[in-house]
Amino acid sequence: MKVHKFGVEDANFRRSPGQQGDIDVANLVDQRHGGPITIGYGRYASSQTLTETMMVHDVMIVLDGRITVSTADGSVTASRGEIIYMPKGESVTITTEGEGALTAYVTHPHWEESHTG
């Protein structure tokens, strides 16, 4: 693969698997491209909750809004320009409040290959 630039206008959002809320994801680079990492955008409506155990290492960079990640050890909230790192194996609850959030994400390995069913 060559050097590529992406923007939100390139994102083909679809419902994030394993949840019924209003959380959409759009992979821009993933297992289809032969490299070791997935890159994408995530879009969270307000007042959403998503609980999962991380199957991959996941970095979220907040581009707009505000997002909170809670674990058994406590919670962190990030807003624009801030980064939340969710290592593989961690059990997390991701929530938004009034404003929702737009994130960029980078995972290793590919998260989509780690989901079954």
User: Which positions touch a copy of itself (CB under 8 A)?
Assistant: 1-8, 28-29, 35-37, 39, 57, 59, 61, 63-64, 69, 71, 73, 76-78, 80-88, 90, 92, 102, 104, 106, 108
For residue 75, the minimal CB distance to a copy of itself (Å) is 9
- Residue written as token pair 């994400």: 105
Complex with a copy of itself: residue 34 or 117, whichever CB lies closer: 34
Q: How many CB atoms lie within 10 A of CB 77?
A: 15
Q: Compute the half-sphere exposure of residue 91: CA atoms within 13 Å on the CB side of its CA.
A: 2
> Helix, strand or coil for residue 50?
strand
User: Where on the phi/psi map is residue 22: left (φ > 0), alpha (ψ -120 to 50), or beta?
Assistant: beta
For residue 115, the minimal CB distance to a copy of itself (Å) is 19
For residue 6, the minimal CB distance to a copy of itself (Å) is 5
CA distance 7 to 24: 16
For residue 5, the minimal CB distance to a copy of itself (Å) is 4
Complex with a copy of itself: residue 81 or 117, whichever CB lies closer: 81
